[in-house]
Structure 1
Amino acid sequence: MVFDNGVIEKVEPRSSYYPRTNVANVTLINIVIAPLPEPDYLLVDKLIAEAYAGGAKVTLTVNKADTGLSVFNYCKENYSNAVDAIFSVSAETGEGIDELVSYLNGNFTAFAGQSAVGKTSLINRIFGTDKAVNSLSEKTLRGRHTTTSREIHFADGLAVIDTPGFSSLELTGVKSDELDKLYKEFTPYVGKCYYIGCSHTAEPDCLIKDAVSSGGISSDRYSRYLSIYKEIKENEKHRY
């Protein structure tokens, strides 16, 4: 049965909201990166933190697998304990798409990431659509914006929203003393350091710094954690 029209009778409160991507009520944020444009891992880490702050699951999808696996290998090495799942796919060839779709099934998913990484191409491949896609600037190797609005795509068990690409993100809704709780790989150590309220920056006897030294936590992820923590602290000074 197909209904040609309907009436909104009630609007329920949001269960979640993600300011930078400007989407609400999603259960999964699928962050898409690719070998080109060169991944901005600081942006990726901020997106992960924002997603976990909102209560969503997080997947990291490396598109353009047909062009090489170096980015996927980096992600496996540095993000395996930082997100819920990592996928290597190609919107061009269809490689890995079935595995990704199987994971997305049953979720309301937002695709997020830089411009020209292939978010829209992936949606075209998954849903059989033909939306315009981005291209790289030959001069800067950065993406040009094509997606300017948000559109939800539905299929059997799937609900996916495409979001415009972007190149920066400020974690306005995250406090400095909450940041460590948004790092999945920090979970076994948070609250167990020698000093109560340890920020895992300059304090001695820090279990997270010990885990970085022993290889249990990615040193790259930790280095970017320090940058994000510093940025949030600076913003808090100006705010308060």
Structure 2
Amino acid sequence: MPEGKIIKALSGFYYVLGEEGIVQCRGRGVFRKNKVNPLVGDYVVYQAENDREGYILEVKERKNELVRPPISNVDQAILVFSAVEPEFSTTLLDRFLVLIEFNHITPIICITKMDLTDVAQKSSIAQYASDYQKAGYTVILTSSETELGIKELTPFLEGGISVFAGQSGVGKSSLLNVLRPDLDILTNEISTHLGRGKHTTRHVELIKVGNGLVADTPGFSSLEFTDIEAEQLSQCFPEIALEGEKCKYRGCFHLSEPKCAVKAAVLQEQIPEYRFNHYKDFLQEIKERKPRY
């Protein structure tokens, strides 16, 4: 039986890219019975009824999967955040980073709309970029209007599956239009009444950019830590995980424990205070989470 990769899911159909091209497939009823939900990015075995239609018979094992956006086998996430309009949010960025780290996906931070910043905003973004780079992240400052940073971003998209994710209205679609001008993806301005972008991307689809596949995903502004346990959270903050190895007590939560290396690093400004505060807030959120049965 032929094998391929799901590159788009829409209205109950799965578009599978195989050796013979793209085949529009439906999932077998057994998937619903076994609660298997094929995702964009899945490697599948399918049976072709003809050149254009077929059925998915089997979903291969995934190396990872995301719930929002619903996609699997992701190699890296391009986390797109605007410097302004909407205002840059370290809280939201850190929520994304925690989920991406937890799923063992390589994150790349892309800060857009740098052409709209004034001198003070540029300085603020430069400081944030420095903080995240010191934590070990790749940070690229971009502008879809001036094409700032596009040459730096392009090599990261070569090979594998990259997902473009971020809040609505930050310019994900505009960035993809610069990377592949023939796409002409619909974009909308920020809603001045709501202060956020209108949703212009309504389904997940893998798009060929260079020698890689890129997913432009629906924007969203809330993320839940449903699968992360309190003991795992510190590992999703690289600089906290690194300093945490020096703590006197194993299993230190870096809250009130004595001789905590993480708290010492915050006091010495080796770890930004806002990152540590986000860690504490997220930890509290996880501890207060209602148990699932």
- TM-score, L = length of structure 1: 0.92
* Kept in 2: contact 1:30–1:111 (CA 8 A): yes
Structure 1 partner of 2:102: 53
* Residue equivalent to 1:170: 224
Closer, same or farther: CA 182–137 of 1 in aligned 2, 3 Å:
same
1:21-54, CA deviations, whole angstroms, 9 ceiling, x for partnerless residues?
2221111011111111123322211111111111
Identity %, equivalent residues:
33
Number of corresponding residues: 238
Which letter maps to 2:109? L
Q: Output one character per residue of 1:60-88: Cα deviation in whole Å (capped at 9) or x when no partner.
A: 10011111224531421331133530000
Superposition map of 1:65-84 within 5 A:
65-68=114-117, 69-70=122-123, 72-84=125-137
> Aligned-residue CA RMSD in angstroms?
1.9
Match of 2:261 among 182, 189, 207: 207
CA separation in 1, counterparts of 2:81 and 2:149? 14
* Partner Cα separation in structure 1 for residue 263 and residue 257 of structure 2: 9
Q: Is the 8 A contact 1:16 1:25 kept in 2?
A: yes
Name the structure with the higher strand share: 2
The 1-side partners of 2:208 and 2:264 are apart by 45
Paired position in structure 1 for 2:166: 113
CA distance in 1 between counterparts of 2:124 and 2:159 reads 28
Query: What is the match of residue 67 of structure 2?
Result: 19
Any residues of structure 2 matched to 1:88-107 within 5 Å, and which? 88-107=141-160
Q: Which moved more, 1:194-203 or 1:54-63?
A: 194-203
Separation (CA, whole Å) in 1 of partners of 2:68 and 2:280: 21
Structure label with greater radius of gyration: 2
SS across alignment from 1:102: helix
Q: 2: CA distance between counterparts of 1:25 and 1:80? A: 25
2:12 aligned residue: none
How many angstroms apart in 2 are the aligned matches of 1:220 and 1:79? 12
Q: Secondary structure at the match of 2:195?
A: coil
Is 1:232 equivalent to 2:286 in the alignment?
yes
1:187 aligned to which of 232, 241, 264: 241
Give the structure, 1 or 2, with the largest relative contact order (CA under 8 Å, sep 6 or more).
1
What amino acid is the match of 1:52? E
Partners of 2:140 and 2:227 lie apart in 1 by 28
| 1:168-192 Cα distance to aligned partner (Å, 9 max, x none) | 1111111111000111112322343
Which structure 2 residue ranges, 5 or more long, are not aligned? Answer: 1-18, 26-44, 47-57
- Give the 3-state SS of the residue equivalent to 2:164 in structure 1: strand
Unaligned runs of 5+ in 1: none
Deviation at 1:18, TM superposition (A): 1.6
Q: 1:13, CA displacement in angstroms?
A: 0.8
